[in-house]
Amino acid sequence: MAGPVRVYYDGACPGCIRDRRRYEKLAGKQATDVEWIDITDRDAELRSAGIDPQAALRELHVVDEHGCVRRELDAYILLMARTLWLRPLAWLIGLPGIRQLVAFLYHRWVDRRLARTGRL
């Protein structure tokens, strides 16, 4: 099993909270190796981890077991690859072409969500 990771997510986003719960359910016992950090009002902590607070709003960031910051789809792929049920999806979204399409759709969805809530 891989070592522990820290996930920086938007705790003010209901969809992000649902995604976290869904991941924890699918990951089961493996979810105990994931520390979830709500980015709300944690700009100094984010900066000390090498994460731009504005970028943290727009992209998922994960610090892996080696201390490397992974962002956007690399962060999702890392998390998904840690669970049996999501591993095939991690492989799929990592494929050329699919990766770019998913990244485009992801950014579009996030930008709309942030604009709708007045946070962009």
What are the residue ranges spanned by the domains of the chain? Answer: 5-116
Position with higher pLDDT, 83 vs 2: 83
Name residue, tokens 């759709």.
105
Per-residue pLDDT tens over the stretch 53-110: 999 999 999 999 999 999 999 999 999 999 989 999 999 999 999 999 999 999 999 9
Region for 83 from its dihedrals, namely left if φ exceeds 0, alpha if ψ lies in -120 to 50, beta otherwise? beta
Distance CA 82, CA 73 (A): 14
Kindly report the number of other CB atoms within 10 A of residue 45's CB atom. 13
Determine if the pTM surpasses 0.85: yes
Name residue, tokens 């999806």.
89
Distance CA 49, CA 96 (A): 29
- Give the phi and the psi of residue 89 in degrees, each rounded to 5: -70, -40
Name residue, tokens 């930008």.
111
